Structure 1
Amino acid sequence: MSSMSERCSQGNIFHFVVFKCRSFSGYNFSLCEFCVVADSPGRPVGLFTPPDVYNSTTLLLSEDEETLFVGARDALLSVNVSQRGGLVLNQKLDWSPTEKDLNDCSMKGKKKTDCPNFVRVLQVLNSTHMYACGTFAFSPRCTYISIKCFIFIFSCIKVYSGFCVPLCVLDGELYTGTVADYRGNRPIISRHLSEGEHVDVKLDDTMGWLEDPTFISSTFIPSEEKVYFFFSELAGEYDFINKFTVSRIAQVCTSDVGGQRTLQRRWTTFTKLPYNVLQDMTTLHPPEGASEDDTLFYGIFSSQWSVNSGRSAVCAFRLRAIKDVFSGNYKYLNRDTVKWSTRVQEKIANPGECGLHNASDNTLRFVKENFLADESILPVNQELTIVSPDHQYSNIAAQRVRAAGGKDYTVLYLLTETGYLHKAVLLDKGAHIIEEIQVFTKPQPVKNLLLSVTKGLVLVGTSEGIASVPVSNCSYYSSCAECVLARDPFCGWDLSRRACVDIDSVRENVGQDVEGGNVSEVCKPRLRSFSLKSPASELVYVSLNEVVHLRCPAASHLAQLHWERLNSQISPKIYMQHEDGSLSFLATPSTLGQYLCQAVENGFTQTLYVYQVRQKSNPTVQPSTPSRPQITRTSESGRGSTDATTKGVTTPQTKDETVRKYMDIRERQLLAKNPSYLQELVVVSVLLALCISALLTIALFSFRQRCHIRTAPHSPGSRRDAERAGEDVSHEREALKGNAPGAGKQNGHAHGVAKSPNSLSNGALNGSNGHLPNTPI
């Protein structure tokens, strides 16, 4: 299993050297401060999509950065770049293969969609001419183009075979990393169009010099007189079960013309070193007056192992460290066992050193067998610059920006594979993602990234068009707090204009804190200019027992969202706060009222949204499922979220899972400690009063019965009468039917009190034996 240290490790520079990054684990970077989409107000993104132009993926800026040259499918474009980022088509050149070329391409077994001429290389040769190369139906061709007139000068068929990828032009000579045939079986690093004492040279066919490489980019270091190539390839020095891919940096000297007998017209200064799977590389030259050894190379790395799929890392390497590794020991390849080992014998020469083309054959044989550096290049501070667990970066650009306090900061522009641009500033505590910008409305793979420092633009090329994004737009931050919290070295709070402005327009009395983003220190001491954006507010009318869902549109992803109620608490037994910061609860008399959504960042609290939840004036019978509350928007101020769904109030969809979730809220509410018990108290009181009344009635009845029994006279014949009554049941039944004397009289008082000896009481029927009691007068 390869860690990131292995991945950003093993590689060499035509003397190969290995770049070594640290492992992914334990590192992370902050979320983006502000995330916007292509159509967001205040953050313009220009899109250039000329008709009948496709695959505009190769970009080149003129030296004055006034013109953008675009390599597309079967075409070359000249585009004017304005100061505000607008792109205007100047001229279009058709460069299509002939029918014969297309037929030959099909005979090679290629798909018809792969046979057009895809322009892969655009490079300025000098002040008057440009060099372009295209796939041309899998028969690569190159041509010269007049920069001033933008016309073909002449076309050189197969100036060299293969698909050139990284290319560097020095004094009219082309240094390329490519393959020597359309099948991609013969990778080479070569120099072409040499004149005078310089001759065209290429890599020797010795086994192990290049192993299935993927070339990324190249750069020229004038003080070293060396061209550096960045690529990935299979690493033969590691004895793994699976093929192990590493990233390499290789070097060649521009003065190299090959050996006299050994390595004739072959590089004598080729060496390489490893790091891991490289995606893109950019060069950041040191500030004026600094040593060229401080040149920095920022590379994007990914992993070939599935455990780290979807993750990216950015590593920074210093030129001084690269030179030290190239000056160290080298590995030796045993041609019999095809095994690499560290050479222990005395080093005859230092591989990669310029001037070796004049060395003896013995020295050149040593150089030919020792081209892979033994050590790896460690990144700056021996740590990752940025690691992203969620985004796969594909392209990178870098620039140095001087902040208001005079300190220089490095700003990186990183493109994800789905078309999002991350703008990051490198701080002492680590990388801070200032903003994420959706370059295209529909995310799509991005093929090229170009930075124009003088125009202040980031240019992005894709298969559908070219996007131009300003490197900054300070007016996007509407308050001092937002301006400071962004920690954008381009922007500062202007005290006189009370606005967030580009620091180049005003250098004095500018509020800025790139390192800490401390609002209290920057904004509050300047009370006159300290202003907060007025929070947006809304009225929400709901019915009782209706689920209410309040959203809080926070632009900053670094802030913690917090909900407040006046003179009340947000109890988790009644309220549910979701991961996106929204709040859900059931509408009851106790949950109606005002709600404040607040953002807390760096100890600074700001109210973002105010809701007034009120009951509808004419409540009706509530449905069994939650319904959508009616919303009356009273005002909208400031910048809301870029997602339309985060503005205003919405209700959850009436899905079973959602309903069950909110029924749980209702159950929690019934069990809560704080709600009112007025209704329950009234019910209990009524029940208690009824129980007491019933008990008093029963007690009074029992008391009267006992008093009556004690005061009633008893005769000796009463018992005999009772016995006789049992014998004369038929006579009594006749009496009950009205046949007995006195049967027509009405019953007297209740509880068996008779008015006459022959009258019957209804209450006496309830006796235990069914007999009528003898009740004397």
Structure 2
Amino acid sequence: MMKSQVALLCVLIIMSEGSAKSLKARRSVFFSDINLKLFKGPDFDGLSSLLVREDIGLLFVGARGKVITLSLNDITKKTSETRWTVSSEDKSQCQRKGKSKEECDNYITMMHTLSDGRILVCGTRAFDPTCTHLMFKGGTVTMEDTTQSGRGKIPFDPKDQFASMMNENMLYTAASTNFRGLLKTFQRHGQNPIRNEEKETWLSDPKMISIHMAEINKISENGEDDNVFLFLNENAVEERHGLRVSRVVRVCKSDLGGLRILQRKWTSFLKAHLDCPFGDEGSASLVKDVFLLKDEKNLLDSVFYATFTSNLEPSSTCSQSAVCSYKLSDIQQVFRGNFLTLSNSGCWVTHTGVVPNPYPGSCINDEMRASGVRTSHDLPDSTLLFVMNHPLMEQVVTPITGKPLLVRSTAQFSRIVVDKVTSLDGEQHNVMFISNNSGWLQKAVWSGDDGGRIIEELQLFQDPQPIRFLQLSRRGQLYSATRTAVAQLSVRDCSRYTSCADCLIARDPYCGWDHLKGLCAAVAGASKFSMIQNLIDGGVRMCPSSHLSMQITDIHLTADVAQFLPCSPDTNLPMRWRFSGKILEPGPRHILLSQGLVLTPSFTDEGLYTCETVEVVKGREHKKAMNQYNVKVSEGGGSYIHTIVISVLAVFCVLCLMFIMYTRCK
């Protein structure tokens, strides 16, 4: 019996210690307890792209050799399947070039909607990228017979990461452009194609992340051209050898290249270091995904939300992830600052010489047009030469708050989407949905008063695997996908909050307590007269009083014999024990664990034991009793030696765990 008690004790301590170092979600909801819809076909794999079409109510899913459509309302309903496979001859030729049979299939890696409703769709097609169009008419999806080369639009290799964006039928891509995947290019396709200069100072072994458009022209007082932003990781030419950093690149939408210098090359290409300070000092924070939340009232107040990782190895158990946010106006300000230049000693220093006019990298505006610079073809050679040799800005782009909104250990953040939610009082709150590499989704908010907090984490996929895509619809549905499955989740589902207190204390902007129906429900479209919500401090004074009493379990223990009293909280909140109304402190006879209490009683330990969760919001303490035990103690054959042995072994387990964690994180 003693061995089994010690083994149980060690497991509990490990579970308790192992979860203590990361920012915890308030509640963890496992796959079996989530109300979601899942699509996973028997021959469905290699999922490579996702496209939400709210105008026709369909979710387009690009996979290996096919494009399928699912109903946006219920993704378990497949509405069509369009096959696009590779001929045996093309596949054989691909394999003769050293690629595997699996690699030589056709992976649909890009889909974008055009203004006429068609969808530009591109597939790797046995390492010969090819594009065509999908059409939706009369409820039927068909594929055009004609094709065009996709080289430069998507990578040859289906495993290569790339970024793309469609704006007004103009395609922007940042991808590898050759068979071996070594040449990476940021370009605009179409009637006036344009790309980056092939210099290491422009792009140095980049990993492309995402591309976003900021329609500056709509709000600019001087007619400034729209801005296009590319986020990436690359080798830092200005730092010590081998260091990789995050970057944001800005170019201008109407850039046509230079007339003599930088012909068909970006004349507006500028880049800056994107910083998200967390982890060990001196370690790189590498951007993983970026979401632009546009501010419709003031575009310059729009915010880029980005996920970062502190470790290059995705499998590292000791890496950290973070979310940082950046205001568009702050990024704009960095690109108006000083430039770095390469000195004769080989070091990058602040450029102190003359900066030509127009200011290098500037987007065309009314002042430039008045001086005769109507397009980039009119830029003087001095400005173009300066841009060619000075693409890097001195100032670093720093987060709005000066630090991350969230930091989490172990499972790495991958994708992020952000929803703007209006609460009952009319205030707007930004809710972040952040996926990780283990099939889980974090639902989080940030406020200046109490920082970042994870409201809940949801296990969307039963098997641990990276979530590769996140798409949020205006209907309040979140679509996520791995390589083998698609999940649909309502972001307005409040059913997991089972009481008024739980509903209000969670401070979920989507949810409020409907006192007429007696349940937690979505506030969107609800009447203010029937709904209560408290996002300021989670106060429950508005909740109706509850007369439900907790059941007390009678426990008969033997003196000096250790016994485990379990506690099963429904949240991840801190837990404490009370003995006869007073807070129980740890001691030789009371070992407090996150899953319960190890009690080695004497006769003075008889009484009522209560396990309760504790949540502090704005200085207000909220308690919730989870388990209650009425303990009676009788004579037995145990001894004080028994207690000492268990305590010593418990300490030994803790030391072993600390050693294991130390060696894993070295």
Would the aligned equivalents of 2:131 and 2:149 in 1 still touch at CA under 8 Å?
Answer: yes
Q: Is structure 2 residue 437 aligned with structure 1 residue 440?
A: no
Structure 2 partner of 1:362: 382
Q: Can you list the C-alpha shifts for 1:337-393, whole angstroms capped at 9, x where unaligned? A: 765333222111322222433213333222222221121112113222112234421
Distance in 1, Cα, partners of 2:125 & 2:465: 25
Structure 1 partner of 2:351: 343
Match for 1:232: what amino acid?
Answer: N
Structure 2 partner of 1:209: 202
Match for 1:46: what amino acid?
Answer: K
Structure 1 partner of 2:265: 266
Distance in 1, Cα, partners of 2:83 & 2:644: 61
**Aligned partner of 1:398 among 399, 407, 418:** 418
Q: Is structure 2 residue 99 aligned with structure 1 residue 110?
A: yes
Distance in 1, Cα, partners of 2:298 & 2:647: 65
Distance in 2, Cα, partners of 1:234 & 1:663: 51
Distance in 1, Cα, partners of 2:210 & 2:505: 36
Match for 1:553: what amino acid?
Answer: S
Would the alpha carbon gap of residues 406 and 609 (structure 1) be closer, same or farther in structure 2, given more than 3 Å must change? same
Distance in 2, Cα, partners of 1:447 & 1:123: 17
Would the alpha carbon gap of residues 266 and 660 (structure 1) be closer, same or farther in structure 2, given more than 3 Å must change? same
**Aligned partner of 1:469 among 480, 483, 489:** 489
- 1:499-648 to structure 2, matched below 5 A, reads 499-504=519-524, 505-508=526-529, 510-519=531-540, 521-523=541-543, 529-531=544-546, 535=550, 538=553, 547-565=562-580, 572-573=586-587, 575-586=589-600, 594-602=608-616, 603-612=621-630
Distance in 1, Cα, partners of 2:290 & 2:181: 22
Match for 1:531: what amino acid?
Answer: S
Q: Can you list the C-alpha shifts for 1:438-458, whole angstroms capped at 9, x where unaligned? A: 112222122111122x22222
Q: Can you list the C-alpha shifts for 1:48-68, whole angstroms capped at 9, x where unaligned? A: 112210122421101437211
Distance in 1, Cα, partners of 2:550 & 2:37: 30
Distance in 1, Cα, partners of 2:346 & 2:66: 46
Distance in 2, Cα, partners of 1:611 & 1:127: 68
Structure 2 partner of 1:717: none
**Aligned partner of 2:299 among 292, 296, 301:** 292
Would the aligned equivalents of 1:70 and 1:78 in 2 still touch at CA under 8 Å?
Answer: yes
Q: TM-score, normalised by structure 1?
A: 0.69
Q: Can you list the C-alpha shifts for 1:634-678, whole angstroms capped at 9, x where unaligned? A: xxxxxxxxxxxxxxxxxxxxxxx999417989xxxxxxxxxxxxx
Structure 2 partner of 1:136: 125
Structure 1 partner of 2:7: none
Q: Can you list the C-alpha shifts for 1:528-572, whole angstroms capped at 9, x where unaligned? A: x23376545545577777643221111222343323347x98575
Match for 2:250: what amino acid?
Answer: Q
Structure 2 partner of 1:772: none
3-state DSSP class of the match of 1:100?
helix
3-state DSSP class of the match of 1:218?
strand
Structure 2 partner of 1:316: 325
Distance in 1, Cα, partners of 2:533 & 2:147: 55
Would the aligned equivalents of 1:494 and 1:506 in 2 still touch at CA under 8 Å?
Answer: no
Aligned residues: 583
Would the alpha carbon gap of residues 658 and 451 (structure 1) be closer, same or farther in structure 2, given more than 3 Å must change? farther
Would the alpha carbon gap of residues 81 and 310 (structure 1) be closer, same or farther in structure 2, given more than 3 Å must change? same
Distance in 2, Cα, partners of 1:52 & 1:362: 58
Distance in 2, Cα, partners of 1:658 & 1:151: 74
- 1:47-86 to structure 2, matched below 5 A, reads 47-64=38-55, 66-82=57-73, 86=75
Distance in 2, Cα, partners of 1:533 & 1:282: 45
Distance in 2, Cα, partners of 1:192 & 1:507: 50
Structure 2 partner of 1:39: 32
Distance in 2, Cα, partners of 1:34 & 1:443: 19
Q: Can you list the C-alpha shifts for 1:246-276, whole angstroms capped at 9, x where unaligned? A: 1111122221122222222222122111224
Q: Can you list the C-alpha shifts for 1:136-159, whole angstroms capped at 9, x where unaligned? A: 222222221113332211453423
Would the aligned equivalents of 1:30 and 1:431 in 2 still touch at CA under 8 Å?
Answer: no
Q: Is structure 2 residue 646 aligned with structure 1 residue 661?
A: yes
Displacement of 1:176 in angstroms is 0.6
Displacement of 1:614 in angstroms is 6.7
Would the alpha carbon gap of residues 509 and 74 (structure 1) be closer, same or farther in structure 2, given more than 3 Å must change? same
Structure 2 partner of 1:89: 78
Would the aligned equivalents of 1:562 and 1:600 in 2 still touch at CA under 8 Å?
Answer: no
Structure 2 partner of 1:645: none
Structure 1 partner of 2:512: 492
Distance in 2, Cα, partners of 1:586 & 1:165: 60
Would the alpha carbon gap of residues 531 and 117 (structure 1) be closer, same or farther in structure 2, given more than 3 Å must change? farther
Structure 2 partner of 1:250: 249
Structure 2 partner of 1:331: 340
Structure 2 partner of 1:234: 235
Displacement of 1:513 in angstroms is 2.3
Match for 1:583: what amino acid?
Answer: L
Distance in 2, Cα, partners of 1:172 & 1:414: 30
Q: Is structure 2 residue 134 aligned with structure 1 residue 145?
A: yes
**Aligned partner of 2:286 among 277, 296, 319:** 277
RMSD: 3.1
Name stretches of at least 5 consecutive residues in structure 2 with no aligned partner.
1-20, 156-160, 218-225, 275-284, 364-374, 651-666
3-state DSSP class of the match of 1:228?
strand
Would the aligned equivalents of 2:326 and 2:398 in 1 still touch at CA under 8 Å?
Answer: yes
Q: Can you list the C-alpha shifts for 1:151-172, whole angstroms capped at 9, x where unaligned? A: 2114534232451821111222
Would the alpha carbon gap of residues 64 and 29 (structure 1) be closer, same or farther in structure 2, given more than 3 Å must change? farther
Would the aligned equivalents of 2:504 and 2:534 in 1 still touch at CA under 8 Å?
Answer: yes
3-state DSSP class of the match of 1:376?
coil
Displacement of 1:117 in angstroms is 2.0
3-state DSSP class of the match of 2:401?
helix
3-state DSSP class of the match of 1:444?
coil
3-state DSSP class of the match of 1:183?
coil
Name stretches of at least 5 consecutive residues in structure 1 with no aligned partner.
1-27, 524-528, 626-656, 666-777
Q: Can you list the C-alpha shifts for 1:482-518, whole angstroms capped at 9, x where unaligned? A: 1111110111122333322211223235332223223
Match for 2:251: what amino acid?
Answer: V
Q: Is structure 2 residue 179 aligned with structure 1 residue 178?
A: no
Distance in 1, Cα, partners of 2:555 & 2:36: 35
Structure 2 partner of 1:193: 190
Distance in 2, Cα, partners of 1:126 & 1:538: 66
Q: TM-score, normalised by structure 2?
A: 0.80
Would the alpha carbon gap of residues 560 and 572 (structure 1) be closer, same or farther in structure 2, given more than 3 Å must change? closer
3-state DSSP class of the match of 1:33?
coil
Would the aligned equivalents of 2:201 and 2:391 in 1 still touch at CA under 8 Å?
Answer: no
Identity score, percent: 28
3-state DSSP class of the match of 1:661?
helix
Would the aligned equivalents of 1:259 and 1:268 in 2 still touch at CA under 8 Å?
Answer: yes
**Aligned partner of 1:303 among 307, 310, 323:** 310
Match for 2:390: what amino acid?
Answer: N
Q: Can you list the C-alpha shifts for 1:608-647, whole angstroms capped at 9, x where unaligned? A: 223355799xx9x98x99xxxxxxxxxxxxxxxxxxxxxx
